[in-house]
Amino acid sequence: MDRLFLEHAYISLNKNGEQLCGDRVEVKGNSINGGFTMVLADGLGSGVKANILSTLTSKIIATMFDSGMPVEECVSTIAQTLPVCSVRGVAYSTFTIINSCTNGDIRLIQFDNPDVICLREGKSYDYPKEEKIIAGKKIQESQFPAKLGDVFIAMSDGVIHAGVGSLLNFGWEWPNVVAYVERKYHHDMTARAIASLVSEACRELYLDHPGDDTTVAVVRVRRRQTISLMIGPPVNKEDDQKVMERFFSHEGKKIVCGGTTSSLVARYLGTTVKTCLDYLDPEIPPIGFINGVDLCTEGVITMGRVVELAKEYTASLGTRSDWVGKQDGASRIAQMLFEEATDVNLFVGRAMNPAHQNPKMSIDFSIKLRMIEDLAKFLEKMGKRVEVSYY
């Protein structure tokens, strides 16, 4: 089980006319053997008040669960902490908790949100449920062993209400959501792709004007995949051999960025760099080819674009990623790091590139370091385990 990873993603659609979403998702950890908690909270109403309620609920529960507190204390704390709405006279936020146990079980704790859909081998799995009354609230709790390939889809009620009063008389009811994801699912879909699939269907049912805050949060049990990326040569030439040995000692796919770095890698592997002059994107330099390396690209310009894509990917509440399927260097790095990788090793050379000392160039070493720091931050926000090594 230590080779399994809980990949997660979520997408929210704001209620039409609202700047803030009344739903909130909070995630801590990514380990199947304990240390993972995802909370989806749906605050009463919409707008600022709902956003405050859901933010408090998700953060408090995620923090308490991450500290090992029992569910009874978490729910009681929420009941005593939430501010009371002056209009309705109640403090209210529904929530769904997906939590991993140290023995590899998955726990689901649900309060008034639509039931979590569990897909096992592409079909809805009827997991066990136990009802409890905690702090006056009817809580539904489940615990069962997770299996490789399991997918858990949590949602706010904006999903099952999609289309109500317009395309559908009673909205997109839960059984129809289940049937839809069973029909559209295939085993290599990422958590992000599944969240996009459901949220895009909701957007269409709402005719692009959501009548409620709508959130889809997905957890997928998958195998770990390590990808190592090297950019820049070592500051000391005598370290070349040692750094190359360490880089290639890691399992998984390898990405090499930069002309000088590519030459060093090719020499270490006893081969050459084959260049390509096809500009698949006019703004991104062409890729190269090295036997023994999965992807070889230009350095700083390509990496700058990757950082931009990472920023858009982590900030976007939408469902479209234009780089998916493209073959330019930046798009291919994005696909490997954002979609395939669970663990990322970044090898960053500190040697100055003579080409960047030209006064006409706007690139310097500090920019490269800042880009790597930003990339690592965005990858961690995606839930990746990231290790950065400077040499």
Across the chain, which has 391 residues, the per-10-residue mean pLDDT values are 83 94 91 84 91 93 89 87 66 89 92 96 96 90 96 97 85 96 94 94 95 96 96 92 96 95 96 85 92 95 95 71 86 95 95 58 69 95 93 92
Name, in order, each residue with C-beta under 8 angstroms of 315's C-beta and a sequence gap of 6 or more: none
How many angstroms separate the Cα of 131 from the Cα of each of 56, 92, 110? 24, 19, 10
- The pLDDT value recorded for residue 361 is 47
- The pLDDT value recorded for residue 225 is 95
CB 11 within 8 A of CB 214: no
- The pLDDT value recorded for residue 320 is 55
CB 63 within 8 A of CB 39: no
User: Rounded to whole angstroms, how far apart are CA atoms 319 and 290?
Assistant: 34
Q: If you count them, how many residues does the chain have?
A: 391
CB 77 within 8 A of CB 67: no
How many angstroms separate the Cα of 7 from the Cα of each of 2, 36, 102, 184, 240? 14, 10, 17, 19, 35
CB 91 within 8 A of CB 53: yes
pTM equals 0.88
Superfamily (CATH H level) for 4-223: PPM-type phosphatase domain (3.60.40.10)
- The pLDDT value recorded for residue 81 is 80
Name, in order, each residue with C-beta under 8 angstroms of 65's C-beta and a sequence gap of 6 or more: 28, 37, 39, 71, 74, 97, 99
Q: Which of 85, 213, 107 is nearest to 160 (CA)?
A: 213
**Domain residue spans in the chain?**
4-223, 226-390
Neighbour-count burial of 36, counting CB atoms closer than 10 A to its CB (0-12 exposed, 13-18 middle, 19+ buried): buried
**Alpha-carbon Rg of the chain, whole angstroms?**
23
- The pLDDT value recorded for residue 360 is 46
User: Rounded to whole angstroms, how far apart are CA atoms 286 and 269?
Assistant: 22
